[in-house]
Amino acid sequence: MKRIVTYFARHAQALVGTVGGLARTPLTSLMTIAVIGIALALPAAMWVGIDNAMKLSNGWEGPGRISLFLKRDLSDNAAQKLAEKIRRRNDIAKVDFISREQAFEEFKRNSGLGETLENFERNPLPAVLVVHPTSEASQAQTLERLVRELRQRDEVDIAQLDLEWVKRLQAWLGLAQRTVVILGGLLAIAVLLIVGNTIRLAVMNRRDEIEVSKLVGATNAFIRRPFLYTGLIQGTAGAVLAWILVQSSLWLLSGPVRELTQLYGSGFRGVGLDMSSSVILLLAGAGLGWAGARLAVGRHLHAIEPK
């Protein structure tokens, strides 16, 4: 029991001494913490942004729709017969028929080129069938197979899956996530180097003190302890600063994002770092700070021996 109390008392003493040492050099300590915080905030902010984009794109998916652009020489009567054939399929919920005249009128209203389009001698737009598959047939592979089948019909000129752009967006977001992981790894190495260099300078500045400590019998573990606490405190403080930077940036962007989503009729609200992500960020900062200090002090401490 006494040994356990002594063990924790020595750690408490080292921790208090480390905090005091950092307080005596506030400018150097704050600069190191600021660099660590920025290095951790960059991948954290990018990850939050991609996560919000993924959630927003998931909300756009819904049931897939297939647009069939029919050949322009196909009559409306033939187009309606084709729509009726497609409606009889078990994997189709409904089919909306848009005639050439309806498509042309809608295009004139929405394009703002009504007067210019009045000069056209003939309607350049084809009739369109908007096919709504059943919920059971809205899986990605099933939709792709259905598009291939409908595209092979003689009456169809172009068959387009309206959610293909969402798939491309999600593919790009997946690539961005992988990029963030790589960037995070590189910045983690940068944090290790920053902490390691800080600890190296601290070891060199206290070289005479370390030599005297070894002369009176201090072990490497005893000498190493304050330096490890230094790295741990700096890494944790940098992670807290990174959390503040990310949350502050999201708060500043919340207004413009809300206005943008309202223009598109969406009730989407961006989310920041949740509890699990915040804990991971704090543990990452603390772990990197400790590891950087451990590597640096372990390398240089063995090179210092009493003369």
pLDDT digits (tens, 9 = 90+) for 239-250: 999 999 999 988
Q: pLDDT at residue 127 above 70?
A: yes
Structural fold of domain 63-162: Alpha-Beta Plaits (3.30.70)
* Whether pTM exceeds 0.75: no
Look at residue 68 in the predicted model and tell me its pLDDT: 86
CA within 13 Å, CB half, 50: 19
pLDDT digits (tens, 9 = 90+) for 247-302: 998 888 777 777 766 665 556 666 778 888 889 999 999 999 999 888 888 777 77
pLDDT digits (tens, 9 = 90+) for 63-79: 567 888 888 888 888 88
Domain residue ranges of the chain, discontinuous segments joined by +: 2-60+167-301, 63-162
Look at residue 144 in the predicted model and tell me its pLDDT: 78
Could you tell me which residue, 181 or 306, shows the higher pLDDT?
A: 181
